Amino acid sequence: MIDDLDIPGVAQRSVASFDGTPLHVQIVDDAPDERRPNLLLVNGLGATITTWRLVIARFRSSFRIVCFDTRGLHRSGRPLGGKAALDVVDHARDVVAVADAMGWQRFHALGWSMGVQVLIEATRILRDRLITLALHNGVAGRTFDDVLGNKGLGRLVDPLLAGFDRNVATVARPIERAVAAAVDHRLFVLVAVRLGLAHPDIHAPTFRAAAQGFKDVDIDVFVAILRHLGRHDGWDALAEIRSPVVVVAGANDRMTPLSTMRRMAALMPRGELAVLPAGSHYAALEVPDLFHDALLSFWQRHGVFGEPA
């Protein structure tokens, strides 16, 4: 298992969510006695805090930062309610549980991929507790509708996942072994680039370290969450979000097309779009300086570090 030891100064604790599911929480707070804005990082599916390593390095001097493992994955426990308790609404309530456990009445949030969908759903509960919202390469719901820019392809995903569910006892272990072999292979990053899944400029050490986390993912839980993401619909929540929101989009993201993220930004009253040229779904690791600049500009304009610029 990839841990957070490669990110210095990470404290860890367990938080019981609304249904008793134990969530593994990581805290980066370099100045606990100072007043700093609070930033919650919400992971993509299967990801860990390692994915945020570059963001944390850039902004740990400005924020008190918290992240947590997705329920059912890594060091967070499986929910007692089984697969039914892996719905996007449950993940959104985990966001609230973590913020409450930290004593945060108001805070900023940044989500990536699945984390975008989770945070949009969480706005229904949090409302004005979210000061700002930053959303990177994700959609509001119906995840597979525009996968690879092809609605027809998207309609095939859930039946395929349902077939996996029916045969999980026989296929899970071979898939888990194949995933472990793939991420351990010395050509893993090169193959990801050749397949168009990542840009040649991707920060290879972080990408490889983040991928290592998939070696301990329970494929059964992973697929169940995927199916929930495909069925969940948070598009109607966008018009009700009153916080300033920036959608930071990779121009060449095949998983969440730019056109979809542009439409999402336009539907939010205070939404705006920042496009990262040449960035894929992993733009935050490919063009990290541009990604960080987009976040910094957004936060500065909305007075996160003092008066608005």
Predicted confidence (pLDDT) at residue 298 exceeds the cutoff of 50? yes
Distance between CA atoms of residues 121 and 112, nearest Å: 14
Distance between CA atoms of residues 294 and 307, nearest Å: 18
**What 3-state class would DSSP assign to 307?**
coil
- What ranges do the domains of the chain cover? 10-301
Looking at residues 94-105, what average pLDDT do you find? Answer: 98
Rounded to the nearest integer, the mean pLDDT of the chain is 89
Which fold, 10-301?
Answer: Rossmann fold (3.40.50)
Q: For residue 35, count CB atoms less than 10 angstroms from its CB and return exposed for 0-12, middle for 13-18, buried for 19 or more.
A: exposed
pLDDT of residue 2: 43
Predicted confidence (pLDDT) at residue 211 exceeds the cutoff of 80? no
Model confidence band, residue 216 (pLDDT cutoffs 50, 70, 90): confident
Phi, psi dihedrals of residue 45, rounded to the nearest 5°:
-65, 125
Higher per-residue confidence, 10 vs 168: 10
Looking at residues 256-269, what average pLDDT do you find? Answer: 95
For residue 64, how many other CB atoms are within 10 A of its CB? 21
Q: Which residues, 6 or more positions from 174, have their beta carbon under 8 angstroms from its beta carbon?
A: none
Looking at residues 232-250, what average pLDDT do you find? Answer: 97
DSSP string, 10-44: EEEEEEE-TTS-EEEEEEE-S-TTS---EEEEEPP
pLDDT tens per residue, range 156-183: 787 888 787 777 767 767 777 777 787 7
**Cβ density class 150-162: b for 16+ within 10 Å, e for less:** eeeebeebeeebe
Q: Token pair of 42, please? A: 């919400």
Distance between CA atoms of residues 44 and 289, nearest Å: 20
pLDDT of residue 116: 98
Separation of first and last alpha carbons in the chain: 42
Confidence (pTM): 0.90
Lowest mean pLDDT among 4-8, 83-87, 245-249: 4-8
